Amino acid sequence: MRATRKAWPLLVLLAEVLAFFRQVLFYGHYAIPWDFRYYHLSQAWFIARSFARGELPLWDPYTYCGMPFYANLTAQLFYPPALAAILLSNFGGGGHLLYWLELQMVAHVFLAGAFTYWLLRRLGLGRAAAVVGATVYQLGAYTASQAEHLGAVDAAAWLPLAWLCVVALGERFRWRWLALLACALAMSLLAGFPATTAVVFISCFLLAAILALLRRASPLVLVRTAIAAAWAVLLAAIQVFPTLQLSRLSVAQYRSQFLKTGGGMPLQALISLVLPNHYGMLTFDGGVWKHPWEMTSLYTYCGIPALVFAVLAVVYRRNRYTAGIALLTLSVGLWMLGDSTPVGKTIFVLLPDAVKGSLYAQFALCAFSLGMAVLAGLGAEQVFEGRRRWVQAAVVAMVAADLIAVSSGRPFNTVDEQLDPGIGYDHYATVPRIPAEIRRLATRNVPPWRMDSMEGYMDMATHGPLFEYPSANGNDPFALVRLMQVRLSFCQGVIWGRYYEIANPDSPVLKLMNVRYVMAAHVLGKPGAMQQVLELPGTHIYENPGVLPRFFLVSRVRRAANMEEALAMLRSRDFDVGSEAVVEGPLQGPLPYGRGSVTLRAGTSRAGKLRAGDVRVLAGDVRVLEYGARQFTLETDAAASAFLVTSETAYPGWHAWVDGEARAPLMTDVAFRGLPVPAGKHVVKMRFDPEILWRSAWLTLAASVALVLAVWFGDNRSTGSWTSKSN
């Protein structure tokens, strides 16, 4: 009987989540929309296929001419629940990966509800009132509107547990609570959505400061929270430090320039607290969105009953924590509104650029939703006092029914695949021939030819990891600066851009990047010298003549002091991409420098045989002996000393050997790897083995051992119950 009393709240919360996502979970043709299928699926697919081949998914050869996959935290490579979902999908044959990712997201929604329930119990609430508050958070505005962002929901699930630990540490220091707070913060880091992770961390410090200021907690709670935060960074070091390295080398460093101000929700979004469909987002049919704000940045509905309960809690303030939670909710509400308020705009402008890049004010909605949920639970506790259990059950049902009826199955959390089929490895908008034919064209060579896009065909060019053909393009927030600068040689865009379409199809730099085929959604008006070679439903494929192979030799190099100087040389009209290279860094050997004349000859390469009208000027032959995602082996044959040029992206962690002797790869043609090679036949090998990953992994291991020791030996006596009151 006692076990049933403890279990029923969690069973109710689980039933609510299943009812909310009933269409996605139990109807065969519904899915989570937008980024869930068009961003997260592609990354998870690459991890799943790599594991199936017995490989570590450290380097993505399909995107941007190659990029460090392990360092991209949005991929959730080191997030335990994501790994579990992917491995379970592989165990089941791998054909239902999207569904396993949806299960992962739904499980986190339930986890958010369970943690909120335990938080409210810690604050002294009875079971029924705690269920009310947990229902409001797990089915409220944040989950309903942000379901497309897998990492955002996953990270937000750990927020109530983090608040619970801060409250517990404010009451009394325990090693286990400190370790649990560190674990919750680390999991929010590994979940892979920095904007939400920032909210989790900052709101914990705000809660600690407010409780200490109101004398509801020891002032030492701020120190304890800081220790837990530092511990969390070490626990997540395997992801944190590689990501910081990637951020410094990617367009992410310019994000503050892109944001300009704090962004955030417009003040008009507060209308949806009481009128959820005021802007028509609940009945949007996929046509033209008429409002200037994003749909998901307008939704704040937490339920009318929840709003009433929250007001009651603030008015009567019977719980010792009510004032602190109310002040915290107000603070994160101002943060959520961003530059819609003078306070939010002023604070954001004063922040350092390194911090601004991770802050998207609208994602403070998760903390605002949790604050409203806690206040709703506190208000419900007052209403439930002296009421019969059937009345309490009826109120719980009313709160859940309101949120499910209003927010479930809406455009921002549910899509009918019969109307919007999306993409997959074996189809594009239900047409299996499109990715299959493009793969066939690409894999005519070893390594495969690269793809790119013109005039409105982003999906096919940016999902190489899903469709499994290499692209010189992409659409990732961690796009490498150098590679994007190379793309701006034949594209148009801003410095912080992450996706550029080809503007000049005749650019020699496009040929340098090994782009043999260009995809378009319609017949190109100005294809340049390219010729259409394939027409598929809504898809036109053009061939780029004279494209250079992935690996070739040149007899002449130009020295550059930095990226800017190298770019100027690469873009100059007198630069010949097929016979010379721009090199940064120390270079030894008898190669001619500058613009001196040199005897050249036509060459061949296993990476692509010469054809009529496809003349390349090369300084020797290159034969591909082995090619994989993380390493390749070549055989070079040159009459004189030469320089090996590749169109493989340069990044720390790539190592090279010539005939078994270690050599340092050189920055070549702004963004790629190159290497001097002696005359005659030689074997060149390059392998990706990032030292920062292994060093960070040791930090994570050490912090994890400390976590186990703290939990096991830190407290000599029991920490007591998580709850403080029972019905």
DSSP string, 578-599: TTEEEEES---SS--BTT----
Q: How far is Cα 319 from Cα 339, in angstroms, rounded to an integer?
A: 33
The pLDDT of residue 589 is 55
Helix/strand/coil (H/E/C) assignment for every residue in 378-444: HHHHHHHCCCCHHHHHHHHHHHHHHHHHHHCCCCCCCEECCCCCCEECCEECCECHHHHHHHHHHCC
pLDDT recorded at residue 173: 95
pLDDT at 357: 65
Query: Judging by beta carbons within 10 Å of its beta carbon (0-12, 13-18, 19+), is residue 19 exposed, middle or buried?
Result: middle
What Cα–Cα distance (Å) separates residue 460 from each residue in 108, 250, 463?
Answer: 30, 22, 6
Q: Do 155 and 136 contact (CB within 8 A), yes or no?
A: no
pLDDT for residue 718: 44
Q: How far apart are CA 30 and CA 408, in angstroms?
A: 12
For residue 415, what pLDDT is reported? Answer: 97
Q: Which pLDDT does position 661 carry in this prediction?
A: 97
Strands (E), 35-84: 59-60, 67-68
Q: CB burial class (10 A; 0-12, 13-18, 19+) of residue 280?
A: middle
d(CA 225, CA 169): 8
pLDDT score at 359: 77
> What pLDDT was estimated at residue 412?
96
Distances (CA, A) of 632 to 264, 626, 687, 717: 46, 5, 7, 57
* The pLDDT value given to residue 615: 32
Rounded CA gap, 491 and 681, in Å?
Answer: 38
Containing H/E element for 522? none
Residues of the chain with pLDDT under 50: 593-617, 717-727
* Packing angle, helices 304-316 and 365-384, rounded to 10: 70
* Beta-bridge mates of residue 431: 428
CB under 8 Å, gap of 24 or more: what pairs does 283-288 form?
284/411, 286/411, 286/419, 286/420
Q: Could you tell me if 196 and 151 are in contact, meaning their C-beta atoms sit under 8 angstroms apart?
A: yes
C-alpha dist (Å) from residue 488 to 330, 493, 564, 570: 44, 7, 13, 11
Measured CA to CA, the distance from residue 389 to residue 379 in angstroms comes to 17
What pLDDT does residue 590 have?
52
